[in-house]
Amino acid sequence: MVDMLEKVNGLHFGLTDEQLMLQKMARDFTAREIIPVAAEYDEHAKFPRDIFEKLREIGLVNMNIPEEYGGLGASLLDECIVAEELGYGCTGISTSASTNGLGDLPIVIAGSDAQKQYWLGERLVDKGELVSYCVTEPAAGSNVVGMETRAEKRNGSYLINGTKTFITNASYANFFTVFAKTDAAAGHRGISAFVVDRNTPGITISKKFDKLGQRASDTAQITFENVEVPAENLLGKEGQGFLIAMKVFDYSRPAVGAAAVGLLRRAMDESIKYAKERETFGVKIYHHQAVGHKIAQMAMDYEAARLMVWQSAWIVEAGRPDARLSAAAKAFAADRAMAAAIEAVQVFGGYGYMKEYPVEKLMRDVKIFQIYEGTSEILRNIVVRELFK
Ligand SMILES: Cc1cc2nc3c(=O)[nH]c(=O)nc-3n(C[C@H](O)[C@H](O)[C@H](O)COP(=O)(O)OP(=O)(O)OC[C@H]3O[C@@H](n4cnc5c(N)ncnc54)[C@H](O)[C@@H]3O)c2cc1C
């Protein structure tokens, strides 16, 4: 495959042998462990702890932890390759697993050596714990700077008060990366990032949400009431939280986009399979141009979205993280995956609306890609901001 794709007009589109092996491993895992159970986990909103453990055993959780802390030290492109394969099977399950790689990013990006040794090495690699990423609040989602959670310095520790909502894996996480204001008057320069152990007194999981899609993933609200966090749990310096959160997005958006690409590919594959079987007016339905064109559009979108996602991941690895490319890739992948899932249901006709076929779940699961990790509107705002800078 690498040979076939190599060197098109001086650009290299091939994956390395290691990446092809990684892709195959994730694809086989998805076929064996995720696709057969996805509908059941969705129906019962069952948290996929067992699948998480199996993914951890083969190294597909927290792939971004550097080797010196016991991790795989995988590239962001490697992560995207895996995210696409797992997303193909079930984005509820893949979100549950990939959230550990989101929650650890503030530590990977801004943690001291000692913080990395402990939280990444001991807690995540050795103990296999879960971590959630906590930015969003009931009154502040897109507007991160509007957050109201406070971290007040008191005698060598910080007292955290506030509520974080829509937090993935919160009911199961062993610790949290939390953003809070240490200086309420300083705007984005007043936000700081902390690691907070779940067992700290004052933490309550105050609400567990019932969702339209990605039902295997857990989404809950966390209340922090006079939660005392040691000063050594501050990531970076006071006031650097906003910068850390923005850097996290450069890394996390390509991987989230990749999961949407996986869902898009699934919508396309299911549509092709069905359109080859179903006959109306004496022909297989793909012979009706209206149906064929829908699937052609999915195929075009798949290639374009995957290229954008891979490019945005590659440029991060090249040491030039680009907020515009990360935002554009995630928004494009999410929007095209959304369109593909809707059209897949249409290709299936009435059967597409029924739970006995997989496309109705795709249509429910896909919507969140236009909302979390930056809504499609906010991501366009970023593209505009960068273009007119
Ligand atoms: C299932 C799920 C899992 C999540 N997981 C996490 C998680 O693990 N950690 C975490 O911190 N957060 C998480 N989130 C939160 C998610 O990132 C936010 O929901 C998202 O950022 C949008 O914020 P909001 O819901 O407050 O919407 P709002 O910010 O209130 O936006 C409402 C609408 O207004 C639009 N809008 C707002 N401002 C603008 C603007 N300036 N220009 C144009 N349009 C605008 C938005 O695009 C949207 O359509 C999750 C959310 C869900 C639903």
In sequence order, the 6+-apart residues with CB closer than 8 A to the CB of 199 are none
Ligand 1, atom 27, lies closest to the CA of 141
Say how many Å lie between the CA of residue 168 and the centre of ligand 1. Answer: 13
pLDDT of 61 > 60? The answer is: yes
Q: What is the CATH number that goes with domain 131-241?
A: 2.40.110.10
1: pLDDT confidence band, cut at 50, 70 and 90?
Answer: very low
Start-end ranges of CATH 1.10.540.10 in the chain?
A: 2-126
Ligand 1 in contact with 167 (CB < 6 A)? Answer: yes
Ligand 1 in contact with 166 (CB < 6 A)? Answer: yes
193 forms beta bridges with 179, 235
Start-end ranges of CATH 1.20.140.10 in the chain?
A: 243-387
pLDDT at 10: 59
pLDDT at 12: 75
Say how many Å lie between the CA of residue 141 and the centre of ligand 1. Answer: 4
Instruction: State the Cα–Cα distance between residues 17 and 31, nearest whole angstrom.
Output: 21
Choose the residue to mutate in 93, 95, 143, 166 for probing ligand 1, maximizing ligand atoms within 8 Å of C-beta. Answer: 166
At position 279, the amino acid (one-letter code) is E
Instruction: State the Cα–Cα distance between residues 248 and 253, nearest whole angstrom.
Output: 8
Of 150, 211, 208, nearest in space to 178 by CA? 150
* DSSP reduced 3-state for 135: coil
pLDDT digits (tens, 9 = 90+) for 199-221: 999 999 988 999 999 999 999 99
Q: What is the model's pTM?
A: 0.96
Say how many Å lie between the CA of residue 138 and the centre of ligand 1. Answer: 10
Start-end ranges of CATH 2.40.110.10 in the chain?
A: 131-241
Q: What is the CATH number that goes with domain 243-387?
A: 1.20.140.10
pLDDT digits (tens, 9 = 90+) for 14-26: 899 999 999 999 9
9: pLDDT confidence band, cut at 50, 70 and 90?
Answer: low
**Is 277 tagged catalytic?**
no
Q: Which CATH superfamily is domain 2-126 in?
A: Acyl-CoA dehydrogenase/oxidase, N-terminal domain (1.10.540.10)
Ligand 1 in contact with 136 (CB < 6 A)? Answer: yes
pLDDT at 7: 47
Question: Taking a C-beta distance cutoff of 8 angstroms, is the pair 91, 365 a contact?
Answer: yes
Instruction: State the Cα–Cα distance between residues 132 and 114, nearest whole angstrom.
Output: 20
Of 120, 150, 163, 143, nearest in space to 245 by CA? 143
Ligand 1 in contact with 134 (CB < 6 A)? Answer: yes
